[in-house]
Structure 1
Amino acid sequence: MPDARKQSNARRYEMEDAALSAFAVFFSQSPSFLDSQVRMQKQLGRNNASSLFGVHEIPCDNQIRNLLDPVPPETVYPVLAEIGDALYQQGYLAEFRSINDTLLIALDGTDFFSSEKISCACCSETRLKNDRVLYRHIAVTPVLVAPGQANAIPLPPEFVQPQDGQDKQDCELAASARWLARWGEHYRPWRITYLGDDLYCHQSHCPAGAGATGRLLFTRKLESHATPLRVGRRFRAQRATRPRVQARRVGKKHFTDTYRYAHQVPLRNTDDAVECGQRI
């Protein structure tokens, strides 16, 4: 990891110690983990942070922040990518194959910090109903998922933050497009189907996803897209599609699901509209 400190013989902590100590907290899911390890070291002369994670000297919380805050997040992207690559190359992702024998990557944004008082240059701003401003840190966090799989495989993220040369505030959709541009070719050989909610089912975004893989499975809200809704109603009225009936059981209850599916439905009422398949 890059070290922003000036060269000095008075250094006590290495960047490696700060990074491993921070990782240990997330791994153990205990905010007080490092404090307990310091006490263990004083009482027993050893600690788990050293034996399990290879930490030589345990920095305090403030020291960890001072050392790691200047490090660009992109520094650790290769680590996440290499983990996924290793799982794929060793065949561990075979059980994750699903629709048409593809792997599923779910695209979604998540807030990992918000405040009405604390802000920085990387914040997104949301105007609240009380006219106050909520400052947020958001990231698109793609993960490999599969039906019936309890585990999800994290992939490199993309942060929602101001971009050079852009006056408009950054957003989740733009960040996901950047992710596809950066990583789409990398994951193309894996045969991917990208998953997303209604936000991603957008005329300007679908070509980016299709260019990366050709396979998209996005949720579409009825109220968000008038043209597919109108076309679907016409198909139903004309009985242009055959229903598919599927029985399923949940515990002691039995359910019957009836589907109608149409292809080549325009996403909007324009000549250049993306055509999609939809349940009607």
Structure 2
Amino acid sequence: MEILPVTISPSELIEFLFLQLDNLPDERKGLNKTYEIRDMVIAAFSVFFTQCPSFLEHQSLMKKRRGKDNALSLFGLKKIPCDNQIRNLLDRIPATRVFEPFQTVWEWLKKNQILNHFKYLDEEILLALDGTEYYSSKKMNCLHCNCRHHRNGTTTYYHQVITPVIVAPDKKQVINLEPEFIRKQDGETKQDCENAAIKRWLLKNPASKKNQKITLLGDDLYSRQPICELAIEQGYNFIFVALASSHKSLYEWLEFLEKNKKIIKGQVRKYQKNKLLYYKYKYVNNVPLRETEPSLIVNWYEVEIYDKGKEKVIYQNSFITNHQLNDERMEKIITSGRTRWKIENEGNNLLKNQGYNLEHNFGHGKENLSEILLALNLLSFLFHNVLELVNELYQKARSKLEKRKTFFNDIRALVKYEWFEDWSELFVYIISEGEQKRLINTS
């Protein structure tokens, strides 16, 4: 695993969250304020960061037995609240109140040139967009829930979210940014949708805010003129899937150009994991995206990847982009468009199936609980990815246990039975005895 020249510890990342919590208003009435609001937020975060639903309960028992606990030494949590206390208080806090650490991490990565390792097409960063569902119930609901009405008379209430993720073709890790919730907006009665949510995210997050050239990646839902125009206005480039079924006018133009031999065709041979692949492509610049005027002028390409060994097509898709297309850059354009899949494999699917339990109902509440819990879960995912990029002890501990599930199984068991003075001691405990002294000295 590549070791980058800078480092950051779990405690330093958690401090990014602490700094924002100092400004949280306390709207509780009465004198019963045994627990500070920041303690409640950090307590919830600790459960997601350790991927241990019983973390707080175990630390309460450890404190009674041994007079010390990992909640304090690892997370700075002086008092350990119970689950109901956490849920009741967090329900009052909008999830946006814990969004600032996403931006703080971005700035740290940029300042220390870690983001340079994610640059690919035209020295730009690739930002994949996708929506996913993270809560559903037949009973529990709130004013912000969307709903599905079924033929049998029942209703499913659900929450969705857009999770923007920085991806790179040669990087296993992803860097997730602040999410955008797909929820009924204040005062609205109609349901929200992914299309409206991504427009809100673009308006709140112009490329100038990131001070970085960025190309957006997305599926067919995003390749509509209002979204493409807004992306350009906000300083982004884009590569979006564009299917014939949803772009009738565009494909009528392409059919006409194909008949008149105006579409350029080419092929690139590429060895990938000892496989000989043929990237067969065709493209055209400057075609109208829609029939209605004024129409945005875009560039279109189609790619078909043929596996010579298996003698079959293993991938086929079509895209629109505002990047100019030519034979010299088609391989990178194609690779960039395909990298969108990482938001599923290394993003949402990992969050759902590899310990973060994205779709688990951690609590719904009446106002904000489900959203702030999700935000803290996504923040823990971000911190883990950053540590895997730059923290040598974390990298070696992960390599020692190989599988992500094994790593967090050990974390859960260790923090339950053993007390650790800090995160370095915990990681060194996992690593082999022969390396302990050297790693402590170099850390």
TM normalised by structure 1 equals: 0.93
**Is the Cα contact below 8 Å between 1:188 and 1:213 reproduced in 2?**
no
User: Within the alignment, does 1:6 sit opposite 2:29 as a pair?
Assistant: yes
Give the aligned residue type for 1:204: P
- Which stretch shifts more, 57-66 or 244-253? 244-253
Q: How does 1:5-84 map to 2 (within 5 A)?
A: 5-8=28-31, 10-84=32-106
User: What is the alpha-carbon distance in structure 2 between the residues aligned to residue 131 and residue 85 of structure 1?
Assistant: 49
Q: How does 1:185-264 map to 2 (within 5 A)?
A: 185-187=207-209, 189-264=211-286
Give the aligned residue type for 1:22: A
Structure ranking higher in helix proportion:
2
Q: Residues 28-86 of structure 1, C-alpha deviation per residue, up to 9 Å, x if partnerless?
A: 11112212212222222211111000001111111111111101111112221111122
Give the aligned residue type for 1:254: L
In the TM superposition, residue 94 of structure 1 has moved relative to its aligned partner by 0.3
Cα distance 1:58–1:188, how it changes in 2: closer, same or farther (>3 A)? closer
Give the aligned residue type for 1:271: E
SS of 1:114's equivalent in the other structure is strand
Q: Which runs of 5+ in 1 are unaligned?
A: none
Q: How does 1:69-108 map to 2 (within 5 A)?
A: 69-108=91-130
**Is the Cα contact below 8 Å between 1:203 and 1:274 reproduced in 2?**
yes
**Is the Cα contact below 8 Å between 1:228 and 1:267 reproduced in 2?**
yes
User: Within the alignment, does 1:113 sit opposite 2:135 as a pair?
Assistant: yes
User: What is the alpha-carbon distance in structure 2 between the residues aligned to residue 219 and residue 130 of structure 1?
Assistant: 35
SS of 1:64's equivalent in the other structure is helix
Q: Residues 153-200 of structure 1, C-alpha deviation per residue, up to 9 Å, x if partnerless?
A: 121222122224544322111111111111115436311111111111
Give the aligned residue type for 2:183: Q
1:123 maps to what in 2? Answer: 145
SS of 1:147's equivalent in the other structure is coil
In the TM superposition, residue 252 of structure 1 has moved relative to its aligned partner by 4.0
SS of 1:243's equivalent in the other structure is strand
* Count of matched residue pairs: 279
- Which stretch shifts more, 180-189 or 73-82? 180-189
User: What is the alpha-carbon distance in structure 1 between the residues aligned to residue 292 and residue 256 of structure 2?
Assistant: 18
User: What is the alpha-carbon distance in structure 1 between the residues aligned to residue 135 and residue 71 of structure 2?
Assistant: 27
In the TM superposition, residue 236 of structure 1 has moved relative to its aligned partner by 2.5
In the TM superposition, residue 99 of structure 1 has moved relative to its aligned partner by 1.3
User: What is the alpha-carbon distance in structure 1 between the residues aligned to residue 152 and residue 298 of structure 2?
Assistant: 40
**Is the Cα contact below 8 Å between 2:213 and 2:236 reproduced in 1?**
no
Give the aligned residue type for 2:106: G
Cα distance 1:188–1:83, how it changes in 2: closer, same or farther (>3 A)? closer
Give the aligned residue type for 1:199: L
Cα distance 1:270–1:138, how it changes in 2: closer, same or farther (>3 A)? same
SS of 2:298's equivalent in the other structure is strand
Q: Residues 216-255 of structure 1, C-alpha deviation per residue, up to 9 Å, x if partnerless?
A: 1111122111122222223233221332211123434322
Identity within the alignment, %:
37
1:267 maps to what in 2? Answer: 289
User: What is the alpha-carbon distance in structure 2 between the residues aligned to residue 194 and residue 235 of structure 1?
Assistant: 27
**Is the Cα contact below 8 Å between 1:2 and 1:71 reproduced in 2?**
no
User: What is the alpha-carbon distance in structure 2 between the residues aligned to residue 221 and residue 241 of structure 1?
Assistant: 17
In the TM superposition, residue 7 of structure 1 has moved relative to its aligned partner by 4.5
**Is the Cα contact below 8 Å between 1:188 and 1:212 reproduced in 2?**
no
Give the aligned residue type for 1:200: Y
How much is the aligned-residue C-alpha RMSD, in angstroms? 1.8
Choose the corresponding residue for 2:205, options 178, 183, 202. 183
**Is the Cα contact below 8 Å between 2:207 and 2:214 reproduced in 1?**
no
Q: Which runs of 5+ in 2 are unaligned?
A: 1-23, 303-443
TM normalised by structure 2 equals: 0.60
User: What is the alpha-carbon distance in structure 1 between the residues aligned to residue 188 and residue 68 of structure 2?
Assistant: 52
**Is the Cα contact below 8 Å between 1:3 and 1:67 reproduced in 2?**
no
